[in-house]
Amino acid sequence: MTTKNIHGKVIELLRGDIANQPDMDCVVNAANAQLRTGGGVAGAIHRAAGPELEEECRPLAPIRPGEAVITAAYNLPNRYVIHCLGPVYGSDKPEADLLAACYRNALRLAEENNIESITFPAISTGAFGYPVEEAARVALRTILGELPGLSTVKKIRFVFFHPSDLKTHEQVLEKLGKE
Ligand code: ADP
């Protein structure tokens, strides 16, 4: 696990389950365009939230790569879920811009809703095939770039299923800190 204080904000990287983040205001869903349940992160979030989440999502769908929408969290231990559609690697282009837009749009919605703490998964690195190290560079560079402009958001956490993904993100964050 890594904790860093940057621009007065806390950045945390740790292993964990996106559906079990009880100390955070908001969790981010690596959603599909239809905002339905599925595998990976979307499955975990919808299973834990219950069927009302899909009901609230239905009129908001479809969303496009890079877009984000916000809903209540129902049976999840959070106030909100922000649903982001990441790019499918090799097909939604330019991937890096679309992935960066996910993180920027999620943080914009967080600020608009007075959210103080938000947990992200590694968007697009599962079923959507984005190589983890490349995705980590885009995600962490975007977050670091947004930090000075944030006012309500005080804590940003990334959770990873695989220990190797945590390690990769820790190494990338370390490198970005030296740039
Ligand atoms: P995408 O379709 O955007 O690629 P996935 O949900 O398939 O999204 O995977 C995104 C990342 O989240 C992958 O690295 C995957 O290992 C990880 N992951 C899957 N389930 C969970 C979970 N419950 N909590 C945190 N991370 C998860």
pLDDT tens for each residue of 22-60: 999 999 999 999 999 999 999 999 999 999 999 999 999
pLDDT band at 178 (very low <50, low <70, confident <90, very high): confident
Question: Looking at residue 177, what is its pLDDT?
Answer: 84
Which protein residue's CA is at the shortest distance from atom 23 of ligand 1?
17
Ligand 1 binding pocket includes 124 (Cβ within 6 Å): yes
pLDDT at position 110 over 90: yes
Q: Check pocket membership of 126 for ligand 1, CB cut-off 6 A.
A: yes
The contacts of residue 129 (CB under 8 Å, 6+ apart) are 88, 89, 90
Compute, in angstroms, the gap from residue 78 CA to the centroid of ligand 1: 18
Tell me, what's the pLDDT at 160? 98
Atom of ligand 1 nearest to the CA of 159: 25
Describe the strand order of the beta sheet including 68-72 as a list of residue ranges. Answer: 2-6, 9-15, 155-160, 117-120, 26-30, 80-84, 68-72
The yes-or-no verdict on residue 86 having pLDDT over 90 is: yes
Q: What is the pLDDT of residues 144-153, one digit of tens each?
A: 999 999 999 9
Q: What is the mean pLDDT of the chain?
A: 97
**Judging by DSSP bridges, how do beta strands 80-84 and 68-72 pair with one another?**
antiparallel
Per-residue pLDDT band at 79 (split at 50, 70, 90): very high
Cα(76)–Cα(47) distance, integer angstroms: 9
> Nearest to residue 31, comparing CAs of 85, 88, 107?
85
pLDDT of 16 over the 90 cut: yes
Write the Ramachandran bin of 6: left for phi over 0, alpha for psi from -120 to 50, otherwise beta.
beta
Residue whose CA lies nearest to ligand 1 atom number 7: 126
Structure confidence at residue 36 (pLDDT): 98
Q: How far apart are CA 76 and CA 48, in angstroms?
A: 6
Atom of ligand 1 nearest to the CA of 128: 4
Query: What does the pLDDT average to over 93-110?
Result: 98
Confidence at residue 3, expressed as pLDDT on a 0 to 100 scale: 97
Assign domain 2-177 one CATH number from 3.40.50.2300, 3.30.450.20, 1.20.1510.10, 3.40.220.10. 3.40.220.10
pLDDT for position 63: 98
Q: Report the alpha-carbon distance of residue 58 to residue 75 in Å, rounded.
A: 18
